Structure 1
Amino acid sequence: MDLSRQKEQFSIAWVRAVVSVAGYAVYQPEVDDDSVDLGIAVRGGRGTVRSPRLEVQLKCTAEPIWQSDPMRFTLKKKNYDDLRGDDLLVPRMLIVVCVPEDVDRWIDQNEERMILQRCGYFLSLRTFPARSDGKASVTVPIPRRQQFTVAALRDIMCEIGQGRRP
């Protein structure tokens, strides 16, 4: 498997691990033509919106973007346009999983634990402006405090369940 596919599969596994611990379900579109790699669904819920959902675009990088705050991540303009805006039925987010350059360091495991190296970060592009500068890519700032953790995911899904957009 080439490195690009390894990154793709690792980011999917990483997000699935967080989602499963949060107690939610993951669904995967048959075709990724709308910049949605995975969907996250809550069964039922106690908010004003029943069964809230979130759709995510996953990216994985070994670039040391995590060394700055905010991190700067470059997206294809198509992905940027598909993720931004307030007119989506299901809210969308970008999740960037940062990994070590050495693939053999992505996982550290023994009988007691398995550590997935490094960290994932999320960004809602809902309020980002349309871009018409003719460039093929857009660089977005991702605050390091926006780590994609179980607690953060629960907060996001609760917000969606209350009828608010993250």
Structure 2
Amino acid sequence: MSLNTQKEDFSYAYVYAVTATAGYSLQAATRRLDDSGIDATITVPGKLNSKRLPRFDVQIKSTSQDVKRETSIKYRLSVKNYDELREDDPFVPQLLIVVLVPEEVSDWLSQTEESISLKRCGYWLSLRGQPAIDNKTNITVEIKRQNIFSPDALKTIMSRIAVGETL
């Protein structure tokens, strides 16, 4: 397995763990949807605030590069993914999740009989309504470090979606 595939699989595991802890479900996208910039859909089973099955789509990325700054994450995203995520009025809300991992694969996970620890952290960002850019290859997006993708943050995101709030 290539290192990039390992990073991708690990980032999915992180998002699955957060989603399961929040009590929600995550469904990985089919290849057709992945070609459209959708890696997975997170859904509340049942109702939330009288809304049945609120959900949002995610594009999941992973990196071991040094992208963490004092107050933000500076992540280089393809213009293709940027354009897919910046839609002004998507039918289903969309978020970018960037999972940071250590450079050494052996440092990604530690486990004892009492705990399992996934190393580093994931961050979320909505690019909805962002402007088009002239660059044809990449754009560096800035994600606030306070936007940690955690079970509590996921519940807040989903509550906002359930009441129709724009992210």
**Same fold? TM cut 0.5:** yes
1:93 corresponding residue in structure 2:
95
Give ranges in structure 2 of 5+ residues lacking alignment: none
SS at match of 2:57: strand
Q: Once the 2 structures are TM-superposed, how far is the Cα of residue 44 of structure 1 from its aligned partner?
A: 2.5
Distance in 2 (CA, whole Å) between partners of 1:29 and 1:57 is 10
2:139 corresponding residue in structure 1:
138
Give ranges in structure 1 of 5+ residues lacking alignment: none
Q: TM-score, normalised by structure 1?
A: 0.95
Distance in 2 (CA, whole Å) between partners of 1:77 and 1:147 is 23
Q: CA-to-partner distance for each residue in 1:22-79, whole Å, 9 max, x for gaps? A: 0001112211111111110012323253211111001110012124322211111000
Distance in 2 (CA, whole Å) between partners of 1:113 and 1:64 is 27
How many residues are treated as equivalent by the alignment? 165
Distance in 2 (CA, whole Å) between partners of 1:78 and 1:106 is 29
Q: TM-score, normalised by structure 2?
A: 0.94
1:9 corresponding residue in structure 2:
9
Question: 8 Å contact 2:63–2:98 — kept in the other structure?
Answer: yes
SS at match of 1:65: coil
Higher strand share: 2
2:18 corresponding residue in structure 1:
18
User: Which aligned pairs between 1:69-148 and structure 2 lie closer than 5 A?
Assistant: 69-131=71-133, 133-148=134-149
Question: 8 Å contact 1:49–1:163 — kept in the other structure?
Answer: no
| Superposition misfits of 4+ residues, deviation over 3 angstroms | none
Identical pairs, percent: 45
Amino acid at match of 1:54: F
